[in-house]
Amino acid sequence: MTTILDIQDLSVSLPPGGDREFAIEEVSLTVDSCEIVCVVGESGSGKSVTAFSVMGLLDRRALNPVAGTIRLADKDLLTIDDRTLRQLRGERVSMIFQEPMTALNPVMRVGDQIAETLEIHTGLSSTQRHARVLQALADVQLPDPKSLAISYPHQLSGGQRQRIMIAMALILEPKLLIADEPTTALDVTTQAKILALIKQLQSSRGMGVLFITHDFGVVAEIADRVIVMQNGRIVEQGQVDHLLNAPKHPYTRLLIDAVPSMTPPERRHSNDKEALAANRIHKIYGKSGWFGRGRVVHAAQDISLTLRRGETLGIVGESGSGKSTVARCIMRLIDPTSGEILIDSIDIAALRQSELRRFRHQIQIIFQDPYRSLNPRRTVGDSIVEGPMNFGVAAVEAWERARELMETVGLSAESLSRFPHQFSGGQRQRICIARALAMKPRILIADEAVSALDVSVQAQVLDLLDDVRQEFQLAMLFITHDLRVAAQICDRIMVMQDGQLVERGSTATVYANPQQQYTRELLAAAPGRRKFPQKVG
Amino acid sequence: MLNYIAVRILSTVPVMGIVALFVFILLRLAPGDPAAVIAGDYATAEDVERIRQQLGLTDPLLIQFFRWLGDILQGDLGTSIFSNKPVTVLIAQRLEPTLLLALTTIIFSILVAVPLGTIAAYRSGSAIDRLAMLFSVGGFSIPVFVLGYILIYVFSMQLKLLPVQGYKSPFTEGIGPFLSHIALPTLTLSVIFIALISRMTRASVTEVLEEDYIRTARAKGQSELRILLRHALRNAAVPIVTVIGIGIALLIGGVVVTESVFNIPGLGRLVLDAVLARDYPIIQGLILFFSFVYIFVNLIIDLCYTLLDPRIKY
Amino acid sequence: MKLMNRLKPIIATLATATIGSIAVSETVLRVIPHADLKNLDPIWTTAYISRNHGYMIYDTLFSMDENFTPQPQMVDSYSSSDDGMEWTFTLRDGLTFHDGSPVTSEDVIASLERWGKRDGMGQQLFSNLASLEAQDDQTFVLKLASPFGLVLEALGKISSNVPFIMPKEVAATDPFEQITDYTGSGPFVFQEDEWVPGSQVVYTKFEGYVPRSEPVSAASGGKIAGVDKVIWTYFPDQTTAVNALMAGEVDYFERPSNDLMAILETNPDVVVEVNDPLGNIGFARFNHLLPPFDDVDVRRAAILAMNQPDYLAAAFGDEQFWMTCFSVYPCGTPFASEIASEGIKTGSVEDAKEALAKTGYDGTPVVIMQPTDIPALSVFSLVTAEKLRDAGFTVEVQAMDWATLTSRRASREPVSEGGWNMFHTWWIGADVMNPMAIAFSGDPDAGWFGWPTDPELEEARKAFAVAETTEEKAAQAHRAQERLWTIAASGQLGQFFTPVAYRNSVKGLIKSPVEFYWNITIE
Amino acid sequence: MSGEAAAARSDPAPLRIFLSHPGVLFGGMTLAGIVLLTGIGPVFATDPVSINPLNRLKPPGAGGFFGTDMLGRDVFSRVLNGGRMSLTVGLAVAFLSVTIGLTLGLIAGYIRSLDAVIMRVMDGLMSIPAILLAIAMIALSGATLTTVIVAIVIPEIPRVVRLVRSVVLTVREEPYVEAAIAAGTRTFQIMRRHILPNTVAPLIVQATYICGSAMLLEAILGFLGAGIPPEIPSWGNIMAEGRTYFQLTPWIIFFPGLALALAVLAVNFIGDGLRDTLDPRIARTMR
């Protein structure tokens, strides 16, 4: 066990005028060979800044290391010249990033991109390089390296891309790998595989890994040691089991508690009357070219569902499973190719836009991205009253209701006159909920409504949603990729894959004994099952 | 891909049609009367009427239009009212100078503008950047003909380095005379084009430099120069090429002025003379021709996208 | 797409479409003409550039000498009956067209007939004509039905439209359609394949041309080509043209803007001189059909305001290039005189104001058409506008290019329907040397734009046409002038001269109102 | 917590950045100066059209600050008055092309059925070189201030339409627009409340560029003999008239040329300033 990376009292300054002076402050940490160190924290905790300062990739116009040392291979990375630093990069320390799609050059064959590293640091001939590249691709367990090497990033799946990144990073067998949220953008099943891969490569090559993440599930899966950061400072660190089971710092505790359990709580079965029924919904995307039809995508294939007042139906699935398509069809934001959507036994799927307007207020939706869900140029109030006033509610009344709703979602009524950019993500999501409720809907669709939020915030918004469901006897359709979240909020769930329904049933039953293979994989892939004993019932 | 090319080519047909119609209407609604011009000072009203009939200007507009359209489809752009020569021949006579002037300008501009814009983007906010952008804005601010005069005055009259005017064909008079005669016009015409391209290059490269894969390249230990050449420029290419395509229109416009200033017997001069002389067939033919060139060039450029960016599939 | 395939030939012909190259051995005269040679039929159009082109490649029966008396050119000998009603002409020996075929009476007659259908003077000649017949290949007879005193003046007409002699089959072309065969019998041969309309015209010496023995005098005398090749290159831009001449890239500049003389004169290798003894006469033309200028007194008032020096100085700068002239016929020509010219000499806005006040002028706006693409005329328009305004007229200047003006001035409609009140132009002296010029017509139907009506004027012109003796002609000419002044047909803006500029290596330019390119040599 | 704080920090006042932008400072001052001069200039300057043949082509000093032109008119007062005309052209063109382009662009972007038609026509217009179109239109239908403006506006419209359309197409996919649809907002209202505001920023920037290029085009048209009638002085036609005398009396071209260059430069600088201040992504859609 030798120390590869040794950061001492590192402080990085923020540009003046920010809410705080330092992005990270007096951070000290070490990474030894053969160990994976996880740095956990929520957005703004400074975990990424730490990682980037090691690589010397900080945007110098904004962020500048002002104090401390970063020792790697007995050099202080903060003081050495650019040439030496460039040499170390890729050779001694390399990095993989959150978004493999954008992290790879879209106009370069992946093989060449991997080879580039060799080109920079070795004198190998192009044939030798090619051989090494194929080897590297094999090492990251990619099928058919030859054809993969000559393909472009956009032709690969997210998992494959991340493997490419890893191959690229590890081709020179660096002593230290820095992984910045490498699985956050991936589907849960893929995530499991990538995590496994990283762990395997790490142990086989005896590297040290500095692993940045926000997800305690992931931590539980992969970490040897854990470092928890908050507001640019390290609040607690320790061996993984120890830290997960007996967190000392309240913030650590808060984060761990915020991780939703995989075990669905006991729920009463709603027999309330049916609010909405969708029968055999089918959505086909097809580019019909000038000559014949282009390729056709079946985004959703005869999906039927019923939704009772006061119950929450979850649709879970990975990206591309078609769960959002179903939601948007029901919203009539897109028109289903076939199938009917019944509200009070009126088929709104058949209605023309003009007729549809009358039914709009009955279904409302909350979107994933809190930053794009509100018109930045209109005050929160305007956004909330817009709907009711469309349906002829008097301004005074609408604003009165808006105030009440703000209280309901836990914001002050004064906020109505403010603009979205003055709120945080969580607050915006609350506002969106208020906007939805303002319509007095019978059905509420939450499309990945909490996916973009930090765990702690996530928990609060989830509670809020559950409360309003009960308070207003809403029928809620909850779209998510996150099985933990689904477990907590859904009465019944439907599992989707590639536009088709895989399995449906009460949440408890499905989680307890999944019938379908895919469902089992999905559940198995959920990170951190083993190491959260108290959370796996 | 082939499918796409076919579609793309077909899609230009309605555009051409619209251009044709537009041009035709434009000319027919104009008050100027070629017959009167031809008839000359001593002509009586009868003479004018007579000539008007011979030119077929008395037929109903619709008939005139379709007659004209039919001819075009057979590759006949009509015959000049004055010189009595087929418009296609007139265009052929004038094509070479304009074509070569355009080419030299495009090449020269790209050679100057792309590095300029890239440096400006890389050192954004620096003195070089400021200077480059000042130049590019300046390029948009000086009337072409003033620039032309100044260049003539300095290089030809004072320094006596280059000829004042005229055009020498590289095919018949050798490359030397060609270059010495084309130099000043190219310089004149390039300024605005350089401005255009360097602006776009800067904007595009700046954007690309923000991308994650640039960061990845750095993480590999790649040198900044290589990063610019191999990663940044390659990805910034599409908008740059696009603006060059759109710039063709600008170029053709500039050619009209430059050719009169430097007395180059090209298409720009031809169109100007034709307009002032009300030589309808030439005006129609030329505007159509230019539009065709523009559309064609941009078609080619569209197809180039696939080479520049593998993500673009047709 | 179809068009593309069709345009392929264009690309194919690229190679041929290059500017004519110049071999060193031959002597070449590189000329900047005053305008672009747009069309090649000097009968079809009156454009002076086409006329000059005509003189290059065609020959004429008679031609004016320096004293503006017609001298035989293609004609060898001629005779007329005592009553002047029958004329017999014999052509010189050895006259051949560029294709080698001889020039015959047939060709002459066909050419004259075509000319007679387009040219003003030609129309008059033919209206008095009984017959025009060939006696043999070289002899033809012209019989008059009514007396016409200007037979030779007509045949020797120096300016547009000049009765050029073309081959019979060419002359057979409808006079309102352009000829397509450019075979002439003149001292130069037109190189059609090297012609780039809008840019370049190339002529080569016609080896087969047999010049007269007499020395050159204006259009008359022996036309000896002194250079192997004449190249006209049109410059749309004056500045560039002047620079090209100073840099020695061209030899001869037909009509540099007078103001650029200052620059040219600084260059020792460039000669600037006035070659046209007659110069040009500036005209301000009224529309006699529309108010306010349908009232002769209003016209007079307007003329009173016109002060020649102001116009000339504004348009032509240095006084060496212009002079005042108060005769309707160019000063320095036979019929020039100042009879009844007092009215046009005053040039005082005050007098004009007074005079206008006495008329019933009701403030009807005067619409002046300003041809912005012709500097001199554009300036004339501005000066007039200013003067008339000061004199109390309401003036509206409408800017347009010459092309638009030429079409619009043909309209006799009221201003509201595209009519006009005034425009400016000039006649080259040679065109207005006698009352026959259409500019002086007093017959609104046959007459020129502006359409003044004055029977007495017409009488005078007819009388002039049939006058036998010079005295008689002079008398009628002066009578015509007197009428023109009394009816205030148009304003007289003075006489101006357009200098030419050339490299001092060019020798032997001919003094004449028309630019000729024979007799010129390059050292 | 920091997430909240971080979010709350976003979007500082753009106006401040804008005003502190060096280009904007320069541009703004210059333009203000020019506008002021051309605005009040004519009051103390002599009559720009009164001609004085005997006092022609006088150098600066001898004949007014900027000398006299070939008709003996005072170049100084002509430049001052000409500025008025050039600025009028610039502003009029910018305003017209933006308004028309905006309308068409919104329609094209939102009403699928009309999209194809409008865009084909725009492609057609765009494929005709602006200057050719302009000289043709003007020379053929007579040069007046109106025709000049119209002739410059028409070729500018397509660019605006494309810009607006692209903005509409992106914005209409935004969740908040979908939310509005879900809230039963009528299409017209959606355009007015949610889409139109997003087009404003890029349009203002585009407008400045159009304004600049319009003033230039006016000058070039003048040079080609298809500009505003000389009766009314404009920087363009002053230069056009003076170009024959370029070597003899450079001041006739120099002063209006300088004024024009400065004005266009200023306008462009302001445009760049706006562009940098507003979302940099719109930089791409700009020329």
What are the pLDDT digits (tens) for D216-259? Answer: 888 888 878 777 877 788 888 888 878 777 777 888 888 888 88
| pLDDT tens profile C172-228 | 998 888 899 999 999 999 999 999 888 899 999 999 999 999 999 989 999 999 999
Q: Which of B13, B169, B270 sits opposite C19 (nearest CB)?
A: B169
Q: Is the pLDDT of residue A182 over 70?
A: yes
Indicate the pLDDT class of residue C74, thresholds 50, 70 and 90. Answer: very high
In a domain, D56, yes or no: no
Q: What is the pLDDT of residues A56-82, one digit of tens each?
A: 888 877 788 888 999 987 889 888 888
The pLDDT of residue C11:
41
Q: Give a yes or no: residue D174 inside a domain.
A: yes
Cβ distance C454 to C435 under 8 Å? Answer: no
Q: Higher confidence at residue A135 or residue D11?
A: A135
Contact B257 D139 (CB under 8 A): no
* Angle value at C-alpha A503, between A498 and A509, nearest 5 degrees: 145
- Answer with the residue of higher pLDDT: C15 or A372: A372
Q: What is the DSSP letter of D59?
A: P
Chain D residues touching C370 at Cβ < 8 A? 229-231
Does A390 have pLDDT greater than 50? yes
Q: Is B101 exposed, middle or buried (0-12, 13-18, 19+ CB in 10 A)?
A: buried
Is residue A201 within 8 Å of residue A69, measured between CB atoms? no
Burial class (CB in 10 A: 0-12, 13-18, 19+), D16: exposed
Q: Which residues contact B212 (CB under 8 A, 6 or more apart)?
A: A97, A99, A102, A103
Q: CA D55 to CA D72: how far, in whole Å? A: 5
pLDDT (0 to 100) of residue C282 = 93
Instruction: Say yes or no to pLDDT of B123 above 50.
Output: yes
CB contact under 8 A, A374 and D185: no
Is residue D267 within 8 angstroms of chain C, CB to CB? no
Question: Which region, left, alpha or beta, applies to residue A93 given φ > 0 means left and ψ of -120 to 50 means alpha?
Answer: beta
Q: What is the pLDDT of residue A350?
A: 85
Catalogue all structural domains in chain A, each as residue range(s) with its CATH number.
3-258 (3.40.50.300), 275-525 (3.40.50.300)
Interface probe, candidates D176, D181, D195, chain A, greatest A C-beta count within 10 A: D176
pLDDT beyond 50 at A535: no
Q: What is the pLDDT of residues D101-142, one digit of tens each?
A: 999 999 998 887 888 889 888 988 888 888 888 888 877 777
Q: What is the pLDDT of residues A503-534, one digit of tens each?
A: 999 998 999 889 999 999 988 888 876 555 44
Predicted confidence at residue C216, as pLDDT, reads: 93
What is the pLDDT confidence band of residue B24, given thresholds at 50, 70 and 90? confident
Q: What is the mean pLDDT of residues D63-70?
A: 78
- Whether A contacts C, i.e. 3 or more CB pairs less than 8 A apart, is no
CB contact C400 to D (< 8 Å):
yes
pLDDT one-digit tens code per residue, A8-33? 999 998 887 777 888 899 999 999 98
| Of D198, D204, D277, D205, residue with least CA distance to D21 | D277
Question: What CATH number corresponds to the domain at position D282?
Answer: 1.10.3720.10
Q: Supply D177's token pair.
A: 């627009």
pLDDT of residue B34: 66
| C258 CB within 8 Å of a chain B CB | no
The C-alpha atoms of residue A226 and residue A244 are separated, in whole angstroms, by 9
Could you tell me if C304 and C351 are in contact, meaning their C-beta atoms sit under 8 angstroms apart?
Answer: yes
Give me the pLDDT at residue D14, please: 56
Residue of D nearest to C368 (CA): D231
A385 min Cα distance to partner chain D (Å): 10
D42 interfaces chain C, CB cutoff of 8 Å: no
Please identify which residue in the block is written with the tokens 């017409």.
C458
pLDDT of residue D18: 64
Nearest to A103 among B216, B221, B235 (CB): B216
Chain D closest-CA separation from residue B218 CA (Å): 24
Chain B residues with CB-CB distance to A116 below 8 A: 217, 220, 222, 230
Q: Cβ B22–D128 below 8 Å, yes or no?
A: yes
| pLDDT higher than 60, residue C479 | yes
Whether D117 is in a domain gets the answer yes
Give pLDDT, residue A294. 55
> Interface partners of C (3+ CB pairs, < 8 Å)?
B, D
Which of D47, D51, D54, D221 should one mutate to test binding to chain C, selecting the residue with the greatest count of C CBs within 10 A?
A: D51
Domain count of the fold of chain D: 1
Chain D residues whose beta carbon lies within 8 Å of the beta carbon of residue C399 = 142-144, 229-231
Query: What is the residue-wise DSSP string for A161-225?
Result: HHHHHHHHHHTT--SEEEEESTTTTS-HHHHHHHHHHHHHHHHHHT-EEEEEES-HHHHHHH-SE
Measured from the Cβ of residue C180, the count of other Cβ atoms closer than 10 Å reads: 12
Confidence of residue B41 (pLDDT cuts 50, 70, 90): low
C403 has a chain B CB within 8 A of its CB: yes
For residue range A478-507, what is the model confidence (pLDDT) as tens digits?
999 988 899 989 999 999 999 999 999 999
Closest by CA position to C152, among listed C91, C84, C210: C84
pLDDT of residue D1: 33
Using a CB-CB cut-off of 8 Å, the residues of chain A touching D184 are 357-358, 360-361, 387, 390-391
Q: Give the start-end residues of each E strand in C261-374.
A: 270-273, 280-286, 322-323, 366-371
Mean pLDDT of B187-193: 91
Dihedral sign for Cα A198, A199, A204, A210, please.
positive
Question: Which of A80, A96, A105 has the highest number of chain B CBs within 10 A, making it the mutation to test binding with B?
Answer: A105
* Chain B contact present for C447, CB below 8 A: no
- Contact assignment for C244 to B165 by CB distance below 8 Å: yes
Q: In chain C, which residue's Cα lies nearest the Cα of D73?
A: C314
CATH superfamily, region B96-308: MetI-like (1.10.3720.10)
List strands edge to edge, sheet with A346-347.
Answer: A296-308, A274-286, A338-343, A346-347
**Alpha carbon D37 to chain centroid, angstroms:** 19
- Give the separation between CA A464 and CA C266, rounded to whole angstroms: 92
H/E run at residue D101:
helix D75-110
Q: Which residue segment(s) compose the domain that D200 sits in?
A: 82-286
Q: Does C365 touch chain B (CB under 8 A)?
A: no
Q: Which token pair is B19?
A: 């251009």
CB–CB contact B169 C1 (8 Å): no
Check CB contact under 8 Å for A372 and D4.
no
Of all residues in chain D, the one with the smallest CA distance to A373 is D176
Q: What is the four-CA torsion angle of C315, C318, C323, C328, rounded to 10 degrees? A: -20
Give me the residue from B14, B207, B254 closest to D120, CB to CB.
Answer: B14
Q: What residues in B contact A120, CB-CB < 8 Å?
A: 220-223
- CA separation for the pair A41, A24 (Å, rounded): 12
Q: In what order do the strands lie in the sheet with A312-316?
A: A363-366, A443-447, A475-480, A312-316, A492-497, A500-506
Which residues of chain A are within 8 Å of residue B218 when distances are taken between CB atoms?
Answer: 55, 57, 89
Binding partners of B (≥3 Cβ pairs within 8 A): A, C, D
Structure confidence at residue C324 (pLDDT): 93
Q: Is residue D190 part of a domain?
A: yes
Radius of gyration of chain D, Cα coordinates, nearest whole angstrom: 23
pLDDT of the residue at B39: 63
Task: Output the pLDDT for position D199.
Answer: 87
For residue D279, name the pLDDT band (cuts at 50, 70, 90): low
Q: What backbone phi and psi angles, to 5 degrees, belong to C23?
A: -80, 150
Distance CA B219, CA B217 (A): 5
C257 touches chain D (CB under 8 A): yes
Which CA distances in Å does A154 have to A158, A159, A296, B209, B312?
9, 12, 19, 20, 10
pLDDT tens-place string over residues A141-179:
898 899 999 999 988 988 899 999 999 999 999 999 999
φ, ψ dihedrals at D218, nearest 5°: -55, -45
3-state secondary structure of C398: strand
- Mean pLDDT, chain B, integer: 84
Reported as a single tens digit per residue, the pLDDT across B240-258 is: 998 888 888 888 888 888 9
Å between D30 CA and nearest CA of chain B: 14
- In chain C, which residue's Cα lies nearest the Cα of D135? C401
Please tell me the distance in Å from A117's CA to the nearest CA on chain B.
6
- Residue of A367, A456, A457 with shortest CB distance to D175: A367
- The residue among C214, C151, C137, C170 whose CA lies nearest residue C54 is C170
Backbone angles phi, psi at B58, to 5 degrees: -95, -15
User: A interface mutation test: which of D2, D110, D188, D200 has the most A CBs within 10 A?
Assistant: D2
Q: Write down the domain spans for chain B.
A: 22-76, 96-308
Confidence of residue A96 (pLDDT cuts 50, 70, 90): very high
d(CA C244, CA C254): 13
Please state, for a pLDDT cut of 90, what percent of chain B lies above it: 23
D28 domain residue, yes or no? no
Token look-up 């010079």 returns C470
Q: Locate B118 and state its tokens.
A: 């890239």
Nearest CA in chain B to C117: B47
What pLDDT, on the 0 to 100 scale, is given for residue A345? 85
> Would D155 be classed as within a structural domain?
yes
> Are D260 and B143 inside 8 Å of each other by CB?
yes
**pLDDT surpasses 90 at C506:** yes
Asked if C touches D (at least 3 Cβ pairs < 8 angstroms), the answer reads yes
Mark yes or no for CB contact B38/C44 under 8 Å: yes
Please tell me the distance from the alpha carbon of residue D160 to that of residue C128, in angstroms, as a whole number. 68
Q: Is the pLDDT of residue D7 over 60?
A: no
